[in-house]
């Protein structure tokens, strides 16, 4: 469990909590989720926005309600409570958040241009690569790069694959990729340096929806294979990879 934290000024009405980064990403993600929840529960009038990352939380606050020094002391108390709770908890990290999001994926050579390469590098069949990608649930570590782009981990070590040496100019919306020990779904047509293994028809970001994204930090994601017909019926579109 992380014991070292730093709370620093990040603007005239913002503070950022840095958690030590030497710990397991799953443990850090769990602590960030719990810290966010306690901040929302206890500082709803003082805090305007929370922006989490892999090992930090940016807190935007109302300067007319609370000042920097007061907020920093309150945050210290909240973080200490979270760390103490986690240290004495018998629950595994995977049980800390019960929200499981299922995402359908059309896996094929048509929708996953890097499937064959990953299989060859790992000395596996394409079917085995697909099975391994679906065989476990993934923690949402953070959201970044683009709205709705969630970094998920960790993939099975046998199919963990380095980023492309030369990124593609564009992959279709819904492309499911692997980079090192993480996996993700591209929320829109985008340049991409990840290895693409399939397509997901689920909208990962809808600007006018509430919430705008179907997943958030701390959620757990399960990928489930579907056929091409099912993918198309769910609104999926097979675009070009360039």
Domain closes at, from 64, 94, 124: 94
Count of residues in the chain? 242
Question: Which residues, given as ranges, of the chain have pLDDT below 70?
Answer: 1-4, 21-25, 86-98
Give the up-direction half-sphere exposure of residue 112: CA atoms within 13 A in the CB hemisphere.
26
Planar angle of CA 28, 149, 43, nearest 5 degrees: 50
pLDDT score at 90: 47
Residue 83, C-beta contacts closer than 8 angstroms, at least 6 positions apart: 1, 2, 3, 31
Q: Are residues 78 and 191 in the same domain?
A: no
Residue (of 163, 211, 207, 212) closest to 183 by Cα position:
163
pLDDT score at 93: 44
Q: Are residues 158 and 226 in the same domain?
A: yes
- Cβ–Cβ < 8 Å for 130, 111: no
pLDDT in tens, 69-88: 999 999 999 998 888 876 65
Q: Are residues 111 and 215 in the same domain?
A: yes
Structure tokens at 174: 């819904």
Q: Are residues 79 and 127 in the same domain?
A: no
Instruction: Count up the domains in the chain and report the number.
Output: 2
pLDDT in tens, 129-170: 999 999 999 999 888 888 899 999 999 999 999 999 999 999
């Amino acid at each position: 469990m992380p014991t070292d934290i730093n709370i620093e000024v990040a603007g005239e009405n913002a503070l950022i909590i840095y958690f030590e980064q030497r710990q397991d990403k799953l443990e850090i993600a769990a602590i960030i989720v719990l810290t966010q929840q306690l901040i929302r529960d206890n500082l709803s009038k003082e805090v305007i926005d929370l922006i989490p990352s892999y090992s930090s939380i940016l807190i935007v606050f109302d300067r007319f309600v609370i000042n920097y020094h007061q907020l920093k002391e309150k945050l210290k108390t909240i973080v200490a409570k979270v760390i103490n709770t986690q240290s004495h908890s018998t629950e595994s990290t995977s049980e800390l958040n019960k929200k499981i999001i299922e995402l359908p994926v059309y896996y094929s050579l048509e929708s996953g241009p890097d499937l064959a390469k990953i299989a060859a590098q790992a000395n596996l069949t394409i079917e085995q690569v697909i099975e391994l990608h679906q065989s476990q649930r993934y923690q949402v570590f953070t959201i970044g790069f683009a709205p709705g782009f969630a970094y998920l981990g960790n993939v099975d070590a046998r199919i963990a694959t380095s980023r492309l040496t030369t990124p593609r100019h564009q992959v279709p919306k819904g492309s499911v990729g692997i980079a090192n020990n993480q996996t993700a779904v591209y929320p829109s047509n985008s340049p991409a340096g990840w290895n693409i293994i399939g397509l997901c028809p689920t909208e990962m970001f809808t600007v006018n929806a509430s919430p705008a994204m179907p997943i958030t930090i701390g959620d757990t994601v399960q990928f489930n294979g579907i056929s091409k017909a099912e993918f198309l019926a769910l609104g999926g579109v097979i675009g070009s990879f360039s």
